Amino acid sequence: MKVQAALDKAAARLTAAGVPDAAIDVQKLAARALDWSALDLVTRATEEFPPYRKRKFDDMVARREKREPLQYVTGSVTFCGLRLEIDRRALIPRPETEAIVEQVMRVKTDQPARMLDACTGSGAVALACKAGWPALTVFASDVSREALSLAAQNSRTLKLPILLLQADLFRPFLKPFRVITVNPPYVAEPEFAGLQPEVRDWEPKQALVSGAEGTDVLSRIPAESARLLWPGGLLAVELAPAQARDFADSLDRAGAFDSIRILKDFQGHDRIVTAHRWKNS
H, E, C per residue of 242-253: HHHHHHHHHHHH
* Helix (H), strand (E) at residue 109: none
Average pLDDT in the 160-165 region? 98
**Where would I find the H helices in the chain?**
3-16, 22-34, 38-43, 51-65, 70-74, 98-106, 124-132, 145-158, 189-192, 197-200, 221-228, 244-254
pLDDT per residue over 201-239, tens digit each?
999 999 999 999 999 999 999 999 999 999 999 999 999
Confidence of residue 134 (pLDDT cuts 50, 70, 90): very high
Whether 281 has a pLDDT exceeding 60, the answer reads no
Q: What is the mean pLDDT of the chain?
A: 96
Is the CB of residue 137 less than 8 Å from the CB of residue 112?
A: yes
Give the separation between CA 90 and CA 125, rounded to whole angstroms: 13
pLDDT per residue over 185-208, tens digit each?
999 999 999 999 999 999 999 999
Selection from 232, 226, 241 nearest residue 272 by Cα: 241
Confidence of residue 280 (pLDDT cuts 50, 70, 90): low
The per-residue b/e assignment along 46-69, b for 16 or more CB within 10 angstroms, e otherwise, is eeebeeebbebbbebbebbbebbb
pLDDT per residue over 34-89, tens digit each?
999 999 999 999 999 999 999 999 999 999 999 999 999 999 999 999 999 999 99
Q: For 268, phi and psi rounded to 5 degrees?
A: 85, 10
Q: What is the pLDDT of residue 42?
A: 94
Q: What is the pLDDT of residue 23?
A: 96
Give the separation between CA 232 and CA 129, rounded to whole angstroms: 18
